[in-house]
Structure 1
Amino acid sequence: MSVLVVRHGQTAWSLSGQHTGTTDVPLTEQGEAQARALRPVFAARRIGLVLTSPRTRARRTAELAGLAAPVPVRVDEDLAEWDYGAYEGRTTAEVSGELGRPWSVWHDGVVPGATPGETVHQVAARARAVLARAAAHERGRGEGEDPGDVVLVAHSHLLRVLTACWLGLSPTAGALFALDAGTWGELGHEHERPVVRRWSVPPPA
Structure 2
Amino acid sequence: MSDKILIFYGSYRSDRQGIRLADYLVRQLTARGAQAELIDAKALDLPMLDRMYKEYPEGEAPSALEALADKIKAADAFVFVAGEYNWSVQPGLKNLTDHFLEEWYWRPAAIASYSAGRFAGARAGLAWHGILSEMGMVVVSSTLAVGGIGKALSVEGEPIGDGGASLAKAFPRFADDLAWWTEAARAQRERKPPPY
TM-score, shorter chain, exceeding 0.5: no
Which TM class, normalised by the smaller chain length?
0.3 to 0.5
Higher relative contact order (CA 8 A, sep 6+): 1
Query: TM-score, structure 1 length as denominator?
Result: 0.40
